[in-house]
Amino acid sequence: DTGVSQDPRHKITKRGQNVTFRCDPISEHNRLYWYRQTLGQGPEFLTYFQNEAQLEKSRLLSDRFSAERPKGSFSTLEIQRTEQGDSAMYLCASSSGHPNEKLFFGSGTQLSVL
Amino acid sequence: GDSVTQMEGPVTLSEEAFLTINCTYTATGYPSLFWYVQYPGEGLQLLLKATKADDKGSNKGFEATYRKETTSFHLEKGSVQVSDSAVYFCALSPNSGGYQKVTFGIGTKLQVIP
């Protein structure tokens, strides 16, 4: 079990640039989630995939954000035209889909927009 | 919508002291309740959970009881250790919708001093 891995661990970018993050879930997990965490706050739900289908998006996810999960394996989260308010820790989690199954989280990608 | 309220930290305790971190929730129906823990430099991981009223979740000496009448899920440990220093998140997930859209509290930082 290699766990959930996220890449990169840290990303520093200038305002207006595009960034893309990658998440590799636990291999047998068909459910994948993206959360965002800002300093002093708990994680906030962004979006959810079951296999390759994106089944829910939070209203926090503006049209500058897009997430994909081709082939139902790894996922990418892209932010276009980054703003300083996008600075946060972006967390990925996966689960097997059993009722009340726990989420397995990655260590996150820390985004800093200058 | 669903929400979780937990006591703000930081909480500083001496080793072997008794720990209580309060958590209350607002949700429709009968959610599942969780405590997640985030150790320094690591991803969130599930500490314990309870899926119905009066259930007690326990792990690593920590306990929490699902109290529907008071909509609470307080975390307790009889004797904390330095290694328990971490951020603790109370969370809930509705038992509907078929997937775990978890709502987190803001987190409580615990520091245990020798």
Question: Using one digit for the tens of pLDDT, what is the confidence trace for B14-28?
Answer: 999 999 999 999 998
Residues 6+ positions from A45 with CB-CB distance below 8 Å? A33, A35, A58, A60, B101, B102, B103
Distance from CA of B50 to the nearest CA of A (A): 9
- What confidence score (pLDDT) does residue A25 get? 96
At A25-83, the pLDDT tens digits run 999 899 999 999 998 889 999 999 999 999 889 988 889 999 999 988 999 999 999 99
- Per-residue model confidence (pLDDT) at position B12: 97
CA B15 to chain A, closest CA, distance in angstroms equals 25
Subunit contact B43:A43, Cβ cutoff 8 A:
no
**Distance from the B2 Cα atom to the nearest Cα atom in chain A, whole angstroms:** 12
- Residue range B93-109: average pLDDT? 82
In the predicted model, is pLDDT for residue A101 greater than 80? Answer: no
With an 8 Å Cβ cutoff, are A107 and B89 in contact? no
Amino acid at B74: H
Contact B70, B97 (CB under 8 A): no
Contacts of A51 (CB under 8 A, 6+ apart): A30, A69, A72
A97–B43 CB contact, under 8 Å:
no
Per-residue pLDDT at A1 exceeds 80:
no
Mutate to test the interface with A, among B2, B90, B99, B103 (most CBs of A within 10 A): B99
